[in-house]
Chain A
Amino acid sequence: DIDNVGRKYHLKLVLEDIVEKDNIVNCTAEILYHLDNTNAAPDVHFEIEGELKNTEEQDNIFYNRIKSLKKELVAQNIPDSHGNVPPEMEPIRLLAQAAAGYVVWQNSTENTRYELAQIKRVRQVKRSDDYLEFDYMVLLHEFVSQEIIPWQMTVLWHPQHGVKVTQNSRQPKHAEH
């Protein structure tokens, strides 16, 4: 506890590559949850031991594939009810997970735990520049309340410039209660 500031956590963690299970990286982090301002995202500082895997080749393959689509990509329910993800949608899903990570960070407090539950809908938005743009509607699962929260995210990505979430907003729950 830090008086008048907030609460700081020192973490030692292990990052595991989802795709290549043997690839693990040690990490230390410091998280500061602010006392007063519930609108401020926690401060995060981290250090990685070693390097993250180079994914240039796969990134470029994905980038070129999407760039060469004749019609903008549209998809729903990833994964589907049975947990299936068509192989060509896997990068779309990984991108959503990265973007959702940002959204979760911005909305986390000591009393929340968010997971990305599902991509309800994703729509590619054509751009005149080099970036790929996707408009996602995802469902976040908040553990403590057990609520499923629809969330809109506008995500930009470029193999060299990485992920940017340019817009995101919590959506009202469906009235189909």
Chain B
Amino acid sequence: DQVLRATAGDEAQLALLRALGEQEELQVDFWRGPTKPGHPTDLRVPFWNLQAIKSFLEANDIPYSVMIEDVQELLNEEKRTMRLSRRLERSMDTFDFSSYHTIEEIYDWMEQLAAEHPSLVTRLQIGESYEKRPLYVLKFSTGGAGRPAIWLDTGIHSREWITQATGVWTANKLATEYGKDPAVTAILDNMDIFFEIVTNPDGFAYTQSTNRMWRKTRSLNAGSSCVGVDPNRNWDAGFGGPGSSGNPCSETYRGAYAHSESEVSSIVDFILRHGNVKAVISIHSYSQMLMYPYGYKTEPAPDHDELDALAAKAVQDLAAVHGTQYTYGSIVDTIYQAAGTTVDWAYDNGIKYSYTFELRDTGRYGFLLPASHIVPTATETWPALLDIMEHVLEHPY
């Protein structure tokens, strides 16, 4: 349907316009009725009658223009914005897990989570990003001193938005399931969990302000106009090898030296100082894969068989939720050779249970995964994470 604006030039034309409104079968509906010559008349004309009405106006020399090309479109838009503002109101007291958020919103929500679960969750700062943003980690602990711990991170590659969003959901799940879910309760009664959700805040901010496809950190590279280092090639494990680039303009640029990035060194320092981290799970997207070391070499990891069996189980439990199929194996066998990765560093530093996830999808949306996928993705990944964490709990070393 369209809305036309017609202007009658004289009384005769005015009468014609009024007559249009009087003929019920035409279904012409005045949004602004005919009043005086020279004053506009707005008529809503149903789609099926458009041609006839326009011809009528033209034949009678009544000038008109199309004011609204598509009335339905406007109605849809209005409904959309109303739904949006209602959602905004709701999120004032309940966080919307099914949409993507800004850094500020995530950081605020973290504070809120810690405030709502004071005996379980604290928000720690482990360092600062290149651009001086705080690097926050949520600590889940029921006490003890230096208990064996599990490290989780999401968002190390900023464009992988499904990961930060899944991180938020998962952190919330951990907090709310403690004391209810037996597995979560057993894990947290004996171990601590450290969860860094926005592992690359500078990159994340850049994906929101300037370039949605930004992957790396935002550090300036000496002698180059290109910015950033791939934080998943910057770890000291096979650093500099094939599967990373020496070119600052490359998406897989390894950096001038291992741990050059504060986003990486902060984690390294934290984990080494802690001294009792037993698992590192680093979450990426996309491709639907669950992988363990190595990425930098083809030689199988000594714990290959155990890691593989656990991956098989986790992937099976993930698929059971929504049917999402994952492949699994070592990084080098499953995705590609990559040097200087998080999990290879963790493994080579004695952390046996080192895994990396590549979440949904397999390329249809890729990095631009619709928000409607957030909750299903987080929901299906949850049992896989639990499988790994439970295994860590049951196999102390």
Residues of A within 8 A of B (CB): 18, 79-84, 115-118, 139, 141, 143-148, 173, 175-177
Contact = CB atoms under 8 A, between A and B. Distances in A.
B252 interface: yes
A177 B227 CA distance: 6
A144 B369 CA distance: 20
Interface string B210-251: 111101000000000111101000000000000001000111
Instruction: Give the interface SS of chain B, mostly helix, strand, loop or mixed.
Output: loop
A107 to B, nearest CB: 16
Interface string B296-340: 000000000000000000000000000000000000000010000
Residue from B226, B336, B368, B373 with most neighbouring chain A CB atoms (10 Å): B368
Contacts of B336: 143-144
Contacts of B63: none
A145 B250 contact: yes
A141 B157 CA distance: 14
Nearest to A78: B368
Interface residues of B, number: 32
B252 A82 contact: no
Contact of A117 (B249, B366, B372): B366
Shortest Cβ-Cβ A-B pairs, 8 listed? A83-B370, A115-B363, A146-B251, A177-B226, A83-B368, A148-B213, A79-B368, A81-B212
A121 B336 CA distance: 31
A141 B250 contact: no
Nearest to A118: B368
Nearest to A173: B249
B100 interface: yes
Interface of B: 99-100, 207-208, 210-213, 215, 225-228, 230, 245, 249-252, 287, 336, 363-373
24 contacts: A80-B368, A81-B207, A81-B368, A82-B99, A82-B370, A83-B365, A83-B369, A83-B370, A83-B371, A84-B370, A115-B366, A117-B366, A139-B213, A141-B366, A141-B367, A143-B336, A144-B336, A145-B252, A147-B250, A148-B251, A175-B225, A177-B225, A177-B226, A177-B228
Contacts of B369: 83
Given A84-B370, A146-B215, A148-B213, A18 B364 contact: yes
A41 to B, nearest CB: 20
A112 B215 CA distance: 19
A116 B211 CA distance: 17
Given A82-B370, A145-B252, 19 more contacts: A79-B370, A81-B212, A82-B99, A82-B368, A83-B373, A115-B363, A116-B363, A117-B367, A118-B212, A118-B213, A118-B368, A143-B336, A145-B251, A146-B230, A147-B250, A148-B213, A177-B226, A177-B227, A177-B249
A143 B334 CA distance: 13
Contacts of A147: 250-251
Residue from A83, A116, A148 with most neighbouring chain B CB atoms (10 Å): A83
Given A117-B368, A147-B251, A177-B225, A82 B213 contact: no
B105 to A, nearest CB: 14
Instruction: Give the interface SS of chain A, mostly helix, strand, loop or mixed.
Output: loop
A13 to B, nearest CB: 13
Contacts of B230: 146
A79 B212 CA distance: 11
Contacts of A84: 370
Contact of B100 (A82, A139, A144): A82
A146 B252 contact: yes
Contacts of B100: 81-82
A84 B250 CA distance: 28
A145 B233 CA distance: 12
Contacts of A177: 225-228, 249
A80 B212 CA distance: 9
B213 A117 contact: yes
Contacts of A115: 363, 366
Contacts of B99: 82
Nearest to A80: B368
Contacts of B252: 145-146
Nearest to B371: A82
A81 B215 CA distance: 14
A65 B245 CA distance: 48
A175 B364 CA distance: 27
Nearest to B367: A117
A141 to B, nearest CB: 6
Residue from B99, B366, B369, B371 with most neighbouring chain A CB atoms (10 Å): B366
A117 B366 CA distance: 6
Contacts of A80: 368
A81 B287 CA distance: 19
Contact of B365 (A79, A143, A145): A79
Contacts of B213: 117-118, 139, 141, 148
Contacts of B227: 177
Contacts of B363: 115-116, 141
B230 to A, nearest CB: 8
Contacts of A83: 365, 368-373
Contacts of A139: 213
A150 to B, nearest CB: 10
Contacts of B215: 146
A52 B250 CA distance: 40
